Structure 1
Amino acid sequence: MTIYATNGAKLYIGGALASQATDFVATDFDGETWVEIGEIEALGTVGDTSAEITFDSISANRTRRLKGTRNAGAMEVVCGIDYEDPGQIALIAAEKTIHDYAFRIVMNDAPSGGTPSERLFIAKVGSAAEALETANNVMKLNATLWVNSNVVHVDAA
C-alpha cells in the first residue's frame, strides 16, 4: 500500500462548460485549455455525499434512511495572492459570471516514468475573497468552488 502527500498537486481552471444530464467522463474535458492556478496553499475537499431522506415508521418503531440526491460539495481553495498569476486572474473573472467552469486537479502520485492521477469536474466559482489578516501573514485569495457535477477520477498510470 502506498500513500501520497498533497504537496506537488496542481489546480487548473478551464473554460465555461455547461452541465449535462449524465455524469461527465474524462473525454468530456478534451479540448479544454487549462490554466494553472498558482500559489495554492490548500485545496479543500471534493467528492459526493448523498442527502439523507428519513422516514419514521410507526409500526416498525424505527427510522428508515434512504439515499437522496448527490452533492459533490464546495471546495475551499486558498492561494497566496499573486496579482499577475493568470490562474488567479481567471478564477476571479469566473466568480463574476453565472457559468460553470471546468476544473482539473493533477496529483503528485505518478509512478516512476508514468502519469499522475487527476480529478475533473465543473463548478461555479461562488466566492473569490481576499484575506488580509495580521502583520506576519501572507495575503490570501480564498475561493469557493461549488461543484456541480460528478468528480471524474483518472487513475495514475
Structure 2
Amino acid sequence: MKIEKDRVVRFHYTVSEPGQDPVESSRDREPLAILIGHGNIIPGLEKALEGREAGERFGAEVPAAEAYGERREGLTQRVPKKHFGAQRLAPGMQTVLQTNFGPRAVTIEKVGMTVVDVDLNHPMAGKDLHFDIEVVEVREATPEEIEHGHVHGDGGHHH
C-alpha cells in the first residue's frame, strides 16, 4: 500500500543538518505515526514520504522553506518573566512558552529582572535538513482519524 492522503504511516526517522551529527532520532522509541495530507509534519518530509511503501528506507533532503521556514529577522518579543515559571533562564537556551495559540518553541535572547526577550523563530528555521527514513507501516485511516485530522492508537493521539 502506497503512502497518500488519508493514510496513516508509521516511520522511524533521523534528522540532521547536511554533513552534521543527528539532531533527533526516533530509533530509541516507537516509530512516529502520522496521518498524511493533514499538515501534521513539515511539508517537505510529507512530500518525500508520498508514494513510498512499508519496508522502504531512504534519505530525503528538505530545504528550509519546506521545513521550518526561513529565519525571519526581528521576530522577537519581550515576555514577563513569570510566564517561564521557576526555570533558570540563560541566553541561547531553548524552551517552550505557553501562548494563546498553544505551546511555542522559543530561544532566550536576553534575561532581565522582570522580562525576557525571546526569539520566536523555530530553532530549526533557516536550516536545510536531511532525513533518514524507514517506513514501518502504511494503512488506511479510520473515518474518525480523518475527521479529527490525526492518528489514534499506537504512536498517535489518545482521547
TM-score (norm 1): 0.26
**With CA pairs under 8 Å and 6+ residues apart, which has the higher RCO, 1 or 2?**
2
Which is strand-richer, 1 or 2? 1
